[in-house]
Structure 1
Amino acid sequence: MLISCRKIKKSFGSTVVLNSIDLDILNGDRIGIVGRNGSGKTTLANIITGCLEYDDGSIITARRQINISYLRQSQSDPHLLINTINSKEENRELRRLSSHLGIRKIHEWSDERLNHLSGGEKTKLALARVWASHPDLAILDEPTNHMDFEGLHSLISQLSAFQGAAVIISHDRYFLDHTVTKIAEIEDSSIRIYNGNYSSYREAKQKERESQQHIYESQQKEQRKVQAAIRQLKTWSDEAHRESRQKAQGIMGGKEYFRKKAKKRDQAVKSQIKRLERMHQEQIERPKADLQVSFDINVREKGSSRLLEAEGISKAYGKMTLFNESSFYIKRGEKIGIIGPNGCGKTTLVKMILGKENLDAGKLHLSQTARTAFVCQELPQGEKETFKDLVRDREMSEQKRIFQLMINLGIPYDRFNTTLGELSRGERMKIAIGLAVMGENDLLILDEPTNHLDLFSREALEESLMQLSGTLLVISHDRYLLQQVCDSLLVFEQQKITRLEGKIDDFFTKKVVAKTQLENSATEELLLETKISRVLSDISRYKPEDKEYAALDQEYMDLIQQRKRLRMNLPLE
C-alpha cells in the first residue's frame, strides 16, 4: 500500500465538501475519481498531494518518502516546465516522452513558439514532465482536456506501461474505459469504490438504483397494507367499545366480556402502529434520481442553404504553415465535428470565422445575416465578481431566464453569489455555454465544450446537441460526443482542411484499413524487389541467345509490371 486516507474531512466555511473519506491507494492501482462539478474531486487530489490542509482524519504512507507527481487542470508556464528540470537525464526523458505524445524537437522551439502553445500542447508538455520524474504515484486531474487523439492513445499506452499507481480525475468516458480498474465516486461529500472501468461502474449504479427502487416500492406497498389494517382495526375497536356500553346492559358479566374484546382490539392497533414505526425506521430511502441537466439551445431557421464557404484558404505563422489552399462548405442545419492534432489551427479557423483573425490567402464567406454564438475552451481565472454581478445590467425578465437556465444546468442558486474565481471549472464552463446559447442563433461554435464538464452534464449536452435543429461546429477530442452528434467532419491533416462525410468511428476505421493496406503493399513491394534482384542475378549468368535468358527476361518484365501496378494501387494479376 502506498497511501491510506482515513476519515478525511474538509469544509469551506459552512459547506462540508468531504466527510469521512476513506481511500486506499495500492501499488499499481488505476483509480478513476468521478463526481459532479464541485463535488470535491480536485479538493481530494490537493489533500493527497499535500497542497491543501484537511480539517480532520489521517493520511498514512507506507514509507517516509513517496514521489508524487501532480498534473493540475491549469497548466504551468511552458518555460517553467522546461527550465526547472535539474538533471540531463530527466531533460532527455522529457524530450523523449514529449515526442511520444506528439510534441517533437521541443528543444529547438523558439520563445515565440512556446508562448503560443495550444491547450493540448501545454497538457502534453506537463504530462511529459510528470512521467519524466518517474513517480511512485501520478495524480492526473483532467489529463485529456484539449488532448488530440494521437496524444490520447499515447497517454493510454503510457499508463499501461507505468509501474506506479495512478489516480485519475476525468470526465472522459472513452479514456476511463481504457485505463482504470476502479472507480471512486464522490457524492454528497462521501466516497464509494466500484471495481471495473467506467462502463462497469455505470452498469453497477443502474442495477443498484433499480434494486433500491424495487425494495422501496415493496416497502411502500407493505406500509400501505399495515396502514389499511390499522384503519380497519381502529374501526373494529371503536365498535367494540360501543358494544361494551350498549350490549352489556342486562347481561350477567357482559360488560367485562365486551370490555376485554375492545381491549384486545386496542392492543392489535398498538401492535400494528409499532410495526409501522419499525418499518419507517428500517426502510430504505427512495433512490435519488440522476439530476436532470438541461441545455436549452435556441436557433433561427432562416437564410440560404449554405451558411459558410471557404475557397482556397491559407494561414501560417512565420515558417509554420497551419493549412494551405483548403476549401470546404457548411450548410444550414449540419452538425460538423472539427478534428486534428494539437496546434494544427482548429481554433485559428474559428477565430477567422468570427472575424478575429485574418487569412493569408483565399476567401472565407459567412452569411451576412448569420447570428453566431461561440464558447471558447479557455476560461478566465481569478475573477472577483459573482455570477449575479455578471448579469446585473440585463433586464429583470432576462435575468430570471438566465438564472433558471443555470439551475437547469445543475448550478445551485446559492452559487450565484460565489465569486467566479471560486467556482469549479466545470461550473464556469456551464456558465459559458449557458450565456452563449441564450439568444436565437444560426450557428453555434463550441471549442472543446466538454472540458471540465462532469459526466452527467456531458451526456445532457450530447442529448441537447443531437436535438439541435440549427447549425453546429464543434471542436472536440471527446470521441463519444462526436460519434453521437456529428454526421460530417472537417479534418486537419497534412496542412489541409478536408470535409469528410460520415461518423468519426467510420473515419478511424478507414484510417486503420488504409494503414493495413499500406503495410501490406510495402511488404508485397519488398517481396517483388527481392524477386527482381534474384532474377537480375540469375540473368547475368546467361547470354541473350540462351534459352534460360529469354525465360528470365520474361519473368523480369512480369515482375516490373506487377510493381508498377502495386505502386498505382491496382490489383495484382
Structure 2
Amino acid sequence: MSILYCNGLEIEVAGSTLLDHITLRLEKGQKAGLVGANGAGKTTLIRAVMGEIAHESGDINWQGTVGYLPQTTASSAEHGTVFEQMLAERQDILDLRDNLRSLENKMAEQADEKTLERYSLFTEQYERAGGYALEARIRKILTGLGMDRHQTTEANHLSGGQKTRLALGKLLLRDPDVLILDEPTNHLDIEALEWLENYLADYAGAMLVVSHDRYFLDRVVDSTFLIEDGFLKAYNGNYSEFELQRNIEKISLTREAERINKKIADLEEYIRRHGAGIKAKQARGRESMLKRITPVNAPKDSKKLSISLQAKTRSGDRVLEIDDLAVKYGQKTIFEHVGLELRRGDKIALLGRNGIGKTTLLRAVTGQIPYNGTIRTGANVSVSYYSQEHENIGLREIVMDEIRYSSTLDDPEIRNVLARFGFRGEDVFKPVAGLSGGEKSRLALCKLFLNQGNLLLLDEPTNHLDMETREVLEEVLQDYNGTILTVSHDRYFLNRIVNKIALLTVNGLKVFEGDYTAYREMSEKSEDEEKESAQAAQDQTCKNEEVQKARDYREESKNTKRIEKKIKQIEEKIAETELLLQEIEDKLDAAASDYELTLSLHQSYEKVQIELDHLMEEWLAYQD
C-alpha cells in the first residue's frame, strides 16, 4: 500500500518550472533516498510534499502519520529542559498515565466494576503505547544522538546543531508511519551517525531521506529517487547500487543514441545523393523510413569541476610535531596531553565526539587561538587552512573580486580558475553574501587550492557539497602530493582519502593505522576484548561490595519483571473470568422459566464471582 503518492506534480520557483510531472510513490515500510545535484530541487520537492510551498498542478496523497525534519530547524519558543521537551512530545502517553493514576485513587476508595473495566482498558492502551518504557526510551534516543549530557539543559540554551538533534529525537520518539528527513546527518558526529543508521535500519515505518552522505544512504535505504533536469526517476537499491545502475544506463543510452543517429545520418545521406535520378523511388522509401525513426538523445555530460591541486614546494620529512598540547577556555579544559607527529605524505583524519575540540586543535595549529604545549612545523612547510565556517571568504562583495584580492592572477585567468570550480558566465559576479552553502564551499576550495600549500588543514571539507563535487574533491586529494590533516564525519570520504585515524579525547590523542573501516574494525574488536576482560574481572571479584550491589540491583530488576509478569497473568485471568460471567449472564437471560437451570446458573455465577473477587484482591495486593 502506498503511504505517499504524488502524481503529475509541477512546481515553479521564481516564475520558472523547477520540477515537472513528478510521479513519486512511497510504499509502506519502504526506505528511499532522494538524491540529485545542488539546486536540482530535492528540498523544494520535500517542502511541496509537506505543504510548506504551493505546487502548480498535480496531486499529493498521504496515508498514515508523518514526521518531518527540515534541513533548517526553526527556533522553538517552548520552555523546559531537553528531557522535559522530549517527554512532552508523547502527551498521549502522559494523558493515559494521568488517567491511570486517577482511577487508581478511585479504586483505593471503591473498586466498582465500571472503574475496573476502565482501568483495564487504559492499562492495555498504556502498555501498547510504550508507557512503561517511555523514560528509558527517551534516555536511549538522547544518548544515541549525543545529547545525554544535555538532558537537564534548558532547550532554549542549546546551540543550533543541538536544537536540530533535539528535533530529530522528538521525531524518532513519536514513531510516525513515515519519516521525511532533509539532511538528518548534519550536526551529528560519527558515533551519533552510526547509532542513527542502526535505528533507521530497524525502523518499522517508511522513510524518504535527502542526504549527501553516501555511506549513510548505503546502510539505510533500499531504493533511490534521482532528481535531474526537473524530472524524477526511481531506482531499486541503495546509493552504490543506484550509481551502478545509472552508469550502465548511461552507457546503454549513449550506444543506442550513437546507433540511431548513425542510421539517421546514413538515410539522410542516401536521400541527398539519390533524391533525383534512377534511385529516386528508393530515396522516397528512405524518406518514409526516416520519418518513422525517433531520434535518441545521448546523456548530457554534466559540467564536472575540473580542478587539480599540487603543493607548490616540497616540505621536509617532518611536517608537524605537536607535544603535550592543551587548550582551555576560562576554567574549562577542552583537551590536554595531545601529541601528534605528521610526516610528509600522511593523510590523517581527526575524529572525536562533537564538542571535544577537533576544530579547536586545527585553529591552534594555525595560531588563531592560545594554547599550552608545543606546536612545531617542519622545514619548508606551507599551511593552507579550510574552515567549515568559511571565515576566509567574504573579504570582498563579488566572487570575482574575492579571487582578485587573494591572488596575482589577471581577469582571464581568474575566470578560467572560477569556471573550474563551477562559477561560469555571470556566476563570477554573484554577491558572496548571497551564495548557497555549496557555492561558498566551492569558492573556499578555490582559494585554498590557489594557495598551493603542502600541509592542508581541512575542517569538514565535504559539507554542503553535492555528491558529484565530493567525488571530484576526493579524486584531487587522492593525487595530492602534500600532507593532510582533516576533520570530517563523511566516512565515504575518509575511506578514500586517509591512511591514519587520530581519535581525540579530553585526555589525549590515539592514532590508528588505516582508513575509517579499518579503524572501526579495530575499535569494535578492542571494545569486545574490554567487555570480556571486564566481565572476567567482575566474575573474579563477585564478593566485592559494589559487585554485590549490582547483583542486588539485577535481582531486584528480575523480581520486578516477575511481578509485572504475574500482574499480567492475573489481568489475563480477570479478563477470562469477566468473560465467563458475561456468558453465564447471557445464559440466565435465555433460561427464562427453566427454574432448575436458572438455579444452577446462579450457583455457577456466584462461584465465578467469588473467584473474580479473589483475583481483584490479588491484583490490588501486587499493585501495592
Q: TM-score, normalised by structure 1?
A: 0.77
Which residue of 2 is the match for residue 326 of structure 1?
338
The 2-side partners of 1:223 and 1:494 are apart by 69
Which residue of 2 is the match for residue 40 of structure 1?
41
Contact 1:336 1:486 in 2 (8 A): yes
Which residue of 2 is the match for residue 538 of structure 1?
none
Q: Quick check: 1:103 aligned with 2:141?
A: no
Q: How does 1:42-61 map to 2 (within 5 A)?
A: 42-61=43-62
Which residue of 2 is the match for residue 6 of structure 1?
7
The 1-side partners of 2:66 and 2:155 are apart by 31
Residues 521-550 of structure 1, C-alpha deviations (whole Å, 9 max, x = no match): 345556666899xxxxxxxxxxxxxxxxxx
Which residue of 2 is the match for residue 215 of structure 1?
256
Q: 1:269 aligns with which of 283, 294, 303?
A: 283
Shift of 1:223: 3.4
Q: Quick check: 1:169 aligned with 2:210?
A: yes
Give the aligned residue type for 1:293.
L
Which residue of 2 is the match for residue 554 of structure 1?
none
Contact 2:69 2:168 in 1 (8 A): no
Which residue of 1 is the match for residue 384 of structure 2?
373
Q: How does 1:292-331 map to 2 (within 5 A)?
A: 292-317=304-329, 320-331=332-343
Q: 2:494 aligns with which of 482, 485, 490?
A: 482
Give the aligned residue type for 1:126.
A
The 2-side partners of 1:156 and 1:486 are apart by 23
Contact 1:373 1:441 in 2 (8 A): yes
Shift of 1:50: 2.4
Contact 1:296 1:405 in 2 (8 A): no
Give the aligned residue type for 1:106.
H
Residues 56-78 of structure 1, C-alpha deviations (whole Å, 9 max, x = no match): 33323336xx4432231x45558
Select the structure with the greater relative contact order (CA < 8 A; seq sep ≥ 6). Answer: 1
The 1-side partners of 2:490 and 2:86 are apart by 36
Distance 1:378 1:127, change over 3 A: farther
Shift of 1:297: 2.2
Q: Quick check: 1:140 aligned with 2:181?
A: yes
The 1-side partners of 2:87 and 2:60 are apart by 34
Distance 1:123 1:403, change over 3 A: farther
Give the aligned residue type for 1:387.
V
Contact 2:79 2:155 in 1 (8 A): no
The 2-side partners of 1:477 and 1:394 are apart by 29
Shift of 1:486: 1.1
168-177 or 94-103, which deviates more: 94-103
Question: Sequence identity of aligned pairs in percent?
Answer: 28
Of Structure 1 and Structure 2, which has the larger fraction of its residues in helix? 2
Shift of 1:196: 1.3
Q: Which runs of 5+ in 2 are unaligned?
A: 91-134, 545-624
- SS of equivalent residue, structure 1 residue 46: helix
Give the aligned residue type for 2:50.
T
Distance 1:41 1:419, change over 3 A: farther
Which residue of 2 is the match for residue 432 of structure 1?
444
Q: How does 1:487-506 map to 2 (within 5 A)?
A: 487-493=499-505, 495-506=507-518
Q: TM-score, normalised by structure 2?
A: 0.71
The 2-side partners of 1:78 and 1:495 are apart by 35
Give the aligned residue type for 1:206.
N
The 2-side partners of 1:161 and 1:395 are apart by 52
Q: Quick check: 1:470 aligned with 2:482?
A: yes
Distance 1:29 1:402, change over 3 A: farther
Distance 1:267 1:127, change over 3 A: same
Shift of 1:518: 2.8
Contact 1:69 1:135 in 2 (8 A): no
Aligned length: 494
The 2-side partners of 1:82 and 1:291 are apart by 49
Distance 1:94 1:424, change over 3 A: farther
Give the aligned residue type for 2:41.
G
Calculate the aligned-residue CA RMSD, in Å.
3.3
Give the aligned residue type for 1:69.
Y
Distance 1:529 1:14, change over 3 A: same
Shift of 1:142: 1.6
The 1-side partners of 2:384 and 2:351 are apart by 20
Residues 98-153 of structure 1, C-alpha deviations (whole Å, 9 max, x = no match): 212222131344899845x8x5x554333213323443432222222342221111
Q: Which runs of 5+ in 1 are unaligned?
A: 239-261, 533-573
Which residue of 1 is the match for residue 238 of structure 2?
197
319-328 or 505-514, which deviates more: 319-328
Distance 1:82 1:315, change over 3 A: farther
Shift of 1:372: 2.6
The 1-side partners of 2:407 and 2:490 are apart by 36
